[in-house]
Structure 1
Amino acid sequence: MSGPLRYRSGRIAAALTLALMAACGRESSVPPTQGNAAGSESVKVGEVVMHLTAVQTDKLPEQVVRRYGVPRDARTVLLVMSLRQGEDADARALSAHRIQATATDLLGRKQTVSMLEMRDGELIDYIGTAQVSPPDTLRFEVVADNGHGIHRAKFNRDYF
């Protein structure tokens, strides 16, 4: 991965991390040692790590929502998922053949979250949006198949 690409991706990840720290609660079925304090989730299966974040788009910088082509408001939640193989800076992005994602609110209303592939050089992310009526909690369930294994995650986020 080239220096400028790594820097640009790092800036987007940093913006998402800061927004998640400010916007999201932390309750997850993922053991605490696999998640991180920024509100994102990570699930490791073998050498592959699934990274997930879910944040209200009004908490994100304008350039991030513009890049992803999503509306910037308190009722739209951006779900970002990636699969990486390897350790930290040397991790290699993996594509997913199939992703199923849902978001369920406290009243039990379930939304299917359609995930779109976004490429930036060698990096691959999958994004989708869900709707929320703050204050509420969404329970996300994501299943990704990369052809070599199934990766599953369940986590909750509070939105105000």
Structure 2
Amino acid sequence: MKRLLAALCLCSITAVAHAEISQKFGAYEVHYNALTTDELLPEVARSYKIERSKTRGLVTMSVLHRNAVGQPSPVPAKISIYATNLSQQLANIEMREIKEGTAIYYLGEFRVAPPDTLRFNATIEVPGEPRIEMTFNQKFYK
């Protein structure tokens, strides 16, 4: 995950820097990011089979569990996510799981027509734990 997130952050070419953001839910942290796929380096997009375009978006998510001493470790989860734009158009985003070594993260692609702001609504299910519901907004620029 660090490789992808580092690539996502390093290749940002917009005026507003994209950074990984997280929200805490008890012993769990959900890390996420959303950007247009034209910001990906060509080799990163190729390795994850992602089409680079100003009208394609990518959302990344990972779920970490902090143990009793505070050490985070990735956990598998079922993630359902949909996005709504300013015109209230709704799009379901299919998330795919990526495992690299001990890292587990999820990628989902969607259409976007910048300038626009999308509201993402996610439901995260970790086996044996209460469901996590979260929302976040991301503004996309031309």
Global fold match (TM > 0.5): yes
Q: Which has the higher helix share?
A: 1
Which of 46, 61, 77 aligns to 2:26? It is 46
Structure 1 residue 153 corresponds to structure 2 residue 121: no
Once the two structures are overlaid, the 10-residue window that deviates more, 63-72 or 48-57, is 63-72
Matches within 5 A, 1:6-155: 9-19=1-11, 22=14, 38-86=18-66, 90-96=71-77, 98-147=78-127, 148-155=129-136
Tell me which residue corresponds to 1:31: none
Partners of 1:134 and 1:16 lie apart in 2 by: 18
State the secondary structure of the residue aligned to 1:14. helix
Partners of 2:8 and 2:104 lie apart in 1 by: 16
Identity %: 31
Q: Give the Å deviation of 1:45.
A: 1.3
- TM-score, length basis structure 1: 0.76
- TM-score, length basis structure 2: 0.85
Question: 8 Å contact 1:23–1:59 — kept in the other structure?
Answer: no
Partners of 2:65 and 2:12 lie apart in 1 by: 24
Gaps of 5+ in 2: none
Question: 8 Å contact 2:82–2:121 — kept in the other structure?
Answer: yes
The root-mean-square deviation of aligned C-alpha atoms, in Å, is 2.3
